[in-house]
Structure 1
Amino acid sequence: MPHYDLSGRVVAITGATGGLGSALARKLLAKGARLALFDLDLAAAIRLAQELGGERQVWAWRADVRSYQDMQAAMDSAAAHFGGIDVVIANAGIDEVSPMATMHPAAFDRVIDINLNGVWRTLKAGLPYVASQRGYLMAISSMAAFVHSPLQAHYTASKAGVWAMCDSIRLEVKHLGVGVGSAHPTFFPTPMMDQVHADAAGVKLWGGNKGGLWRMISRDEVVDGVIRGIERRSDMVVLPAQNTLVAKAPGLFRKVTEKLGFKSADIVEAVALAERKAWRA
């Protein structure tokens, strides 16, 4: 498959100062990419940008994925700074271990709003710039999209939603030359996992992720897999690769259904028709 060279490309990353975000930033920089770091903590994002090389190669913006206006302003500013955006990585996400019976509705809403709605806002805000470069959109989902743990209804629903959303958006933007992919890693070391391991309920569910079905893989394996997926403009990245059958089984007939049910010309026309009656706040 064609290699999508990241050298000189502008890559925007949400949740940029987190465990995965910062590791992706370092590896992308080593590939020659220029980086727009988006994070709620602007001071931390600026420190990371300065550490990685300064504003000509890497710079930072405060961005809250819970606000579309915020994401749009950050994308506009980053595109103006770098002269465009080629790739967007929707990486921001949160979790907590909590059963429906005792979880506060506001906590459920927050997980869904950041993990699912926040991905949509990120990809929507970045699409005009990515489309002009015939670039690529990547959303960080999880194996939780396919393996649905108890005490995780909020998290699994959000990650399954991201997977489905990426499949839908891919069909919408294919004619623009834009690729769309979702990444589905299993457990790996992050500050979020540190919180899980500090939670007695989380330890009980997954045994501290020390082995068996729930063993952790290295963060480097995830970073390398995500970047390889971008370079291949993959539809789906599953990490580790041996989980691919589990991940692909739910969508076994999706490609057939898409081919039989949705003609490319009809999709393009439907998009145009929908834009004429677009809902306005």
Structure 2
Amino acid sequence: MHYGPLVNRTVVITGAARGLGAALALELARRGARLALLGHEKDALEAVARSLPAPASALVHEVDITDDAGLRRAAQRVRDRLGPASVVVANAGIAEGGPFATSDPDRWRRVIDVNLTGSAMTARTFLPDLRETAGYYLQIGSLASFGAAPMMSAYCASKSGVEAFVHSLRAEEAHRGVAVGIAYINWTDTDMIRDADRYPVLRELRNHMPPPARRVYPVDQTAATLARAVEHRRTAVYVPGWLRLAQVTRAALPPVVLRVSRRRLPSLEARIALDATGLLGAGGRADEAAAGTDAGREGDR
């Protein structure tokens, strides 16, 4: 591709080893971007880099986004190899299901640390680059950002938190030319969602949502929508588009969720054990495996 707003622009994607991050990397590579792929699992990041269409290539850097020093090293390496970032996509995230009362405090806190604190640290680290390039920061949010559900307290709290963070950051950086957006995403076909469906309580809760809200959308479709949003520096993007209507009625969602939960949870508790799931998907397992290791270690690509 020889023209377009992303040609030869440096784009940083966190959580790029699989799922939505990997699919978005492919979409942005097709649009001519220079990519920096950040996250756990160097081997998986390398595989994503190899999958990009010629002549695209990517810088791979293994880092824990909750590690300040590690992120600073990542940002410097990106600047040295690719130039200052024009786009940063804060995609890295983890989730756990189960009742709050019996949740593991450390694991609950880790979901908040990765999804909220890690996203904010990513923004802080790359803001000098985005100011220099009048760039764009895209935060991956969720329907959970405004439609909190039972059995997902840490995830919902973290996604609500990043929504508020984005609104604050956008107001602070607008006069410097930095655009800040948030993507509200419904169920997307990633290993995190497939893993969640293995647990009866999460599967049952999703199946009791209204038909449009329970549908799982292809990851490639979601990535293509996000790539267009990046090109146009959207303030908000909804995947699928009908989520915009749910945003308008968000004040009505908590009473509806409460009413459904009062009716459904007792029958679920009578039939199945409402136990914690642990961190979901391969990304969650990778995050747990990385605990206690050098979170700031670097890749060599």
Both proteins in one fold, TM over 0.5:
yes
Label 1:210 to 1:220 Cα distance change in 2 as closer, same or farther (>3 A).
farther
Label 1:4 to 1:209 Cα distance change in 2 as closer, same or farther (>3 A).
farther
Is 1:237 the counterpart of 2:237? The answer is: yes
Once the two structures are aligned, what percentage of the paired residues are identical? Answer: 33
Q: Say whether the 8 Å CA contact 2:96–2:152 is kept in structure 1.
A: yes
Mapped to 2, the partners of 1:110 and 1:55 lie a distance apart of 38
Q: Say whether the 8 Å CA contact 1:63–1:70 is kept in structure 2.
A: yes
Q: Helix, strand or coil: the match of 1:84?
A: coil
Is 1:95 the counterpart of 2:116? The answer is: no
Letter of the aligned partner of 2:171 in structure 1?
A: L
Label 1:86 to 1:13 Cα distance change in 2 as closer, same or farther (>3 A).
same
Q: Helix, strand or coil: the match of 2:122?
A: helix
Is 1:16 the counterpart of 2:36? The answer is: no
Residue aligning to 2:189 = 189
Shift of 1:51: 3.3
Q: TM-score, normalised by structure 2?
A: 0.78
Residue aligning to 1:36 = 36
Residue aligning to 1:202 = 202
Q: Helix, strand or coil: the match of 1:241?
A: coil
Mapped to 1, the partners of 2:212 and 2:16 lie a distance apart of 30
Mapped to 1, the partners of 2:242 and 2:165 lie a distance apart of 24
Q: Helix, strand or coil: the match of 1:182?
A: strand
Residue aligning to 1:130 = 130
Is 1:71 the counterpart of 2:89? The answer is: no
Label 1:69 to 1:135 Cα distance change in 2 as closer, same or farther (>3 A).
same
Letter of the aligned partner of 1:130 in structure 2?
A: L
Shift of 1:250: 5.1
Shift of 1:54: 8.7
Residue aligning to 2:144 = 144
Label 1:222 to 1:118 Cα distance change in 2 as closer, same or farther (>3 A).
same
Mapped to 2, the partners of 1:113 and 1:135 lie a distance apart of 25
Residue aligning to 1:214 = 214
Q: Say whether the 8 Å CA contact 2:4–2:31 is kept in structure 1.
A: no
Shift of 1:44: 1.8
Residue aligning to 2:51 = 51
Q: Helix, strand or coil: the match of 2:150?
A: coil
Letter of the aligned partner of 1:230 in structure 2?
A: V
Report the number of matched residues: 249
Superposition map of 1:109-188 within 5 A? 109-188=109-188
Mapped to 2, the partners of 1:60 and 1:195 lie a distance apart of 26
Letter of the aligned partner of 2:231 in structure 1?
A: E
Mapped to 1, the partners of 2:248 and 2:82 lie a distance apart of 37
Q: Say whether the 8 Å CA contact 1:15–1:39 is kept in structure 2.
A: yes
Shift of 1:213: 2.8
Shift of 1:228: 1.6
Q: How large is the RMSD of aligned CA atoms in angstroms? A: 2.1
Label 1:82 to 1:179 Cα distance change in 2 as closer, same or farther (>3 A).
same
Label 1:227 to 1:212 Cα distance change in 2 as closer, same or farther (>3 A).
closer
Moved more, 102-111 or 208-217: 208-217
Label 1:69 to 1:184 Cα distance change in 2 as closer, same or farther (>3 A).
same
Structure 1 moving runs of 4+ over 6 Å: 53-56
Unaligned 5+ runs, structure 1:
252-281
